[in-house]
Amino acid sequence: MKFSISVEDIEGLHDKLNCFHEGYISHFFTKTRNMTKQSYQYIQGKFLAKGKGNMCTYPKDVPDCNNQSLQHFVSNSPWDHRPVLDHIQRDVTEAIGDKNHGSIHVDECCFPKQGKGSVGTAPQYCGRLGKVANCQVGVFLGYTKESYRTLIDERLYLPKKWISDKKRRKKCGVPWSVRFKKKTELAWEMICHAQKKKIPFSWIGMDSLYGRDSWLRNKIDKHGLIYIADIPCNLRVWLQKPKTGVPERKKGRGRPPKREQVLDDDSVRVDELRKRATDDAWQRVFIRDTERRELWTNMTCLRVYPREEDDLPGKECWLIIREDPQNGEVKYQYSNAPADTSIDRLAEMSGSRYWIERTFEDGKGIAGLADYQVRNWTGWHHHMTMTILAMLYLMELSIDLGKKIELLTVQDVKEIFEVIMPKRHITSEELIQLILEKHKRRMSARRSHHRRNK
């Protein structure tokens, strides 16, 4: 195990962060203001925050910083987040891009909210809580190569009620060009953008919400791309392609049928196929290294015809069933990989889904993905973009330092920054002012709640 890190390596991290940030400063100039200082302070606040933090708490730690300037930078400043994300994608490509073992992954993250004022907030399914709740939903695109991972793109999902509510749209600054798009459409939009920017990847991963959608799977397939899609256990498939056609009209019962249907439906649930699998159908395959041991799993792969949303059979694909021998957890996945794909390659694709889940843990735990106090359209996109930029900082520095200390993680790098970055020394007078500002915000929120309840 490598361990050759020195004090000079640690102390030089702050300078490396400055150099890295300088590569992005051109994106934070507007016609009237230079916001590069605030952009760096926002990153500093994320790295210095222990536990939850946001732009209201960052001034306690970041030198020469105040809440008002950060609030303007995130919520009101007109810098465009799209060029920043495109720049991030170029840097991710340079750092870990791999057309054979790199992959992009679609997933969503839910942010529980109180009230109705925050952009996109509505009662909808919240995966974080496991139930329908008042929340915002962001659709994200991540990039992984082996254990290296980060987010590279984002979209805010706006429910139909928001699209038709002109008053709330105007209040939150939602551009009039924004129209309703399903989450799968937002996902496809990001995939197309990644292709346009020539991001190298070998397959596309999706969680079960997106994997069960035949429209998205077929879009990906028609464009010659490979997907690995988590699916629920209750989806139905055919082992042999069923006969389809327009059935004859039953005597004395209704109008003649016109829609094509499956004439002899012998489809079966995917979890039923797992029960039917014989012992010799399973193979023990390697998935990845973990901190405690190598992770091996039992896996069986079948060629099936998925049942589409119109109840007709789709194009033949792989059904992958994985069962963890340690805890008995079972995972089901579809893939349109070629029929001659080896089980080891399917296992590599299947295991890559784990890393996007870790990416969201990184985003929430060390980069403040879910910790923000913004209500408008611009603020949400600015916060997410700065979070993704912070995640890239941490990943690149962990790769660089990882050459000297083998088991270094992005969490380790975050903890190093908590120690080495300059911190603000708060006087008693400044502390009183911070408390007063906090109380003003608290009273404003209380009055707002009273008006709403009244």
The yes-or-no verdict on residue 1 having pLDDT over 60 is no
Alpha helix (H) residue ranges in 307-427:
343-351, 353-366, 377-402, 410-420
The pLDDT, as a whole number, for residue 426 is 67
The answer to whether 336 and 218 have CB atoms below 8 angstroms apart is: no
The yes-or-no verdict on residue 385 having pLDDT over 60 is yes
Cα dist. 138→217, 307, 380 in Å? 20, 28, 10
Distance, CA of 448 to CA of 440 (rounded, Å): 12
Averaged pLDDT, 397-409: 80
| pLDDT tens digits for range 281-319 | 999 999 887 656 678 999 999 999 999 998 999 999 999
The yes-or-no verdict on residue 196 having pLDDT over 90 is yes
The yes-or-no verdict on residue 405 having pLDDT over 70 is yes
Q: What is the dihedral angle through the alpha carbons of 283, 289, 293, 296, rounded to the nearest 10 degrees?
A: -10
Distance, CA of 2 to CA of 96 (rounded, Å): 21
The pLDDT, as a whole number, for residue 169 is 93
229 contacts: CB under 8 Å, gap ≥ 6: 205, 206, 208, 210, 211, 212, 217, 333, 334, 335
Q: CA Rg, the chain, in Å?
A: 25
Instruction: Point out which residues pair with 299 in neighbouring strands.
Output: 283, 322
| pLDDT tens digits for range 198-225 | 999 999 999 999 999 999 999 999 999 9
| pLDDT tens digits for range 105-135 | 999 999 999 888 899 999 998 888 889 999 9
Give the DSSP per-residue string, 184-223. Answer: HHHHHHHHHHHHHTT---SEEEE-HHHHT-HHHHHHHHHT
The pLDDT, as a whole number, for residue 387 is 95
| pLDDT tens digits for range 241-284 | 999 888 877 766 667 777 888 888 899 999 999 999 998 999 99
The answer to whether 39 and 30 have CB atoms below 8 angstroms apart is: no
Averaged pLDDT, 389-396: 92
The yes-or-no verdict on residue 449 having pLDDT over 60 is no
Distance, CA of 47 to CA of 52 (rounded, Å): 11
Name the residue with higher pLDDT: 344 or 67.
344
Cα dist. 439→49, 118, 433, 442 in Å? 21, 21, 10, 5
Query: Residue 313 gets which letter from DSSP?
Result: B
The pLDDT, as a whole number, for residue 452 is 54
The answer to whether 325 and 310 have CB atoms below 8 angstroms apart is: no
Q: Tell me the domain boundaries of the chain.
A: 7-81+375-453
Give the amino acid at 430.
E
| Per-chain mean pLDDT for the chain | 88
In 3D space, the residue among 175, 152, 154, 195 whose CA is nearest the CA of residue 78 turns out to be 175
The yes-or-no verdict on residue 28 having pLDDT over 80 is yes
The yes-or-no verdict on residue 454 having pLDDT over 60 is no
The yes-or-no verdict on residue 186 having pLDDT over 90 is yes
H or E element at residue 43? helix 36-48
* Low-confidence winner among 1-5, 191-195, 229-233 (lowest mean pLDDT): 1-5
**Residue 23 φ/ψ, nearest 5 degrees:** -70, -15
* Low-confidence winner among 134-138, 361-365, 407-411 (lowest mean pLDDT): 407-411
